[in-house]
Amino acid sequence: MGLRRAAPSLTHACEAGTGDWFPAAVAAPVHAAGVQPERHNCAPIDARQRLAPASLRAVSTPPDIALRPARPGDLAALVALEQTAFAYDRMSRRQYQRHLGSDRAILLVAESAGELLGSALLFLRRHSDLARLYSLATAAASRGRGVGRALLSAIEALAITRGIRRIRLEVRRDNTAAVALYEGHGYRRVAALDAYYDDGADAWRYEKTLPDPAQP
């Protein structure tokens, strides 16, 4: 299973230094679907606001699966997972290298007995409580074991520690497994995006408001 929002030929705008979430080629179909594309500042987050391991330990996971921040040593496994999880829109090795350790992103992996079973990538932006879930991928052998649910819960828990109140994502309309996962996790459909992906596939946009840790 895989979720991805942009076309494979597009470099993420934050990587390119434009400070925008929507490259022009992605913004066009969004606008055509009646949704005004947004422009966002992706300047680095304060380095002191790094991943909080305690938040990961609090996430319920299957007994044989561990969640942790991705490390440089995971690069080959991440690229291999990318090739099997996505028929289109694959991230390159160079893109993963940029995201590893970046203050603009949270990149998590799920593993069991040293084998990488899934990954999740969340993009952040400065002075905003909105983040974008860019990618969620699980290995075929791990499906049905709760890996996707665990990664999604962990991403949300870490997002809250970074001051994020809302997470937004796009998913292919024909990816019924991913749609069921997000709707079951409390995401609500907010827009229909026609011809959104590079291969012409349509997408749904979903959004979720996260719990406010200040509220009892």
Report which listed range, 29-33, 45-49, 96-100, 186-190, is most confident. Answer: 186-190
Report pLDDT digits (tens) over 60-104: 777 888 999 999 999 999 999 999 998 877 899 999 999 997 888
pLDDT for residue 188 is more than 90: yes
Task: Give the integer Cα–Cα distance in Å for 185 and 202.
Answer: 22
- Among the residue ranges 34-43, 112-121, 146-155, the one predicted with the least confidence is 34-43
Q: Look at domain 2-209 and name its CATH class.
A: alpha beta
- Among the residue ranges 46-55, 127-136, 155-164, the one predicted with the least confidence is 46-55
**For residues 104-109, average pLDDT:** 94
> pTM (2 decimals)?
0.76
pLDDT bin (cut points 50, 70, 90) of residue 215 is: confident
pLDDT for 1 equals 59
Instruction: Domain ranges for the chain, please list them.
Output: 2-209
